[in-house]
Amino acid sequence: MDTIIQNIETLVKSIHCSLKNRWLLPCLSLLYTGIDVLGSLERGKSGGVRDSFVRWSSTYMLPGSDLNCTALELYGARCGILHTFTADSDLHAQGSIRKLFYAWGSANTEALQKSIDTLEKPAGAVHITDLINAFSHGVDTYFEELKGNPSRWNNIATGAGLWFVNMTPDQIDNYNAQWDENNAG
């Protein structure tokens, strides 16, 4: 599980770094990818990405947050950002959700929402900082919950055995030397 926690902590730091540098699309891409990843940890064989994303967002991100959107709207926003770097998604085109537009820095979501409302189209304003805070809080809540449930934690650890780990060149060389030694003639 250390690998999972380490990778998610690095992801959260990368999200903050992207925002600090005003790399807004990479920031949002990393954030939505993080929700995908965390939702996938307990998806099961029959669940899809959409269901696990909406479930994780509804359970861990939205409660107590300053976000004025639904988990399904977040999923539609995720589709738009990850697939086209826009606010457009099939869910919005079908009329199932509002588009989400992003305020950032010192921008005010209420002012952005007022501008959006003049368009007379269904759309909502979300502040990127509120989105990041909700995600970070969700990550903390999720891992605290898992630590209190060893059976659930073990199921996730088993499924996450395929996660990438960071290895230095020295670690790889040591592994190869050990393998060669154990498998010599």
Q: Is-contact 138 61, C-beta < 8 A?
A: yes
DSSP string for residues in 51-102: HHHHHHIIIIISTT----S-HHHHHHHHHHHHHHSSS--HHHHTTSS-EEEE
Give pLDDT tens digits for 65-119.
Answer: 999 999 999 999 999 999 999 999 999 999 999 999 999 999 999 999 999 999 9
Amino acid residing at 167: M
> Containing H/E element for 125?
strand 123-127
Give pLDDT tens digits for 47-63.
Answer: 789 999 999 999 999 99
Residue 121 DSSP one-character state: S
CB neighbours of 8 closer than 8 A, spacing ≥ 6?
A: 34, 37, 38, 139, 143
At residue 51, φ and ψ (nearest 5 deg) are -60, -45
Instruction: Write down the pTM of the prediction.
Output: 0.86
Does the pLDDT of residue 171 top 80, yes or no?
Answer: yes
**Average pLDDT over the chain, rounded to an integer:** 92
Domain boundaries, the chain: 2-182
Does the pLDDT of residue 161 top 90, yes or no?
Answer: no
pLDDT classification of 155: cutoffs 50, 70, 90: confident
Angle between helix 128-147 and 2-20 (nearest 10): 170
CB neighbours of 17 closer than 8 A, spacing ≥ 6?
A: none
Asked whether the CA dihedral 152, 153, 154, 155 is positive or negative, the reply is positive
**Could you tell me what percent of the chain has a pLDDT over 70?**
93
Give pLDDT tens digits for 13-35.
Answer: 999 999 999 999 999 999 999 99
Distance of CA 148 to CAs 54, 88, 117, 143, 145, Å? 23, 39, 44, 9, 5
The predicted structure's pLDDT at residue 1? 62
Does the pLDDT of residue 163 top 80, yes or no?
Answer: no
The predicted structure's pLDDT at residue 135? 98
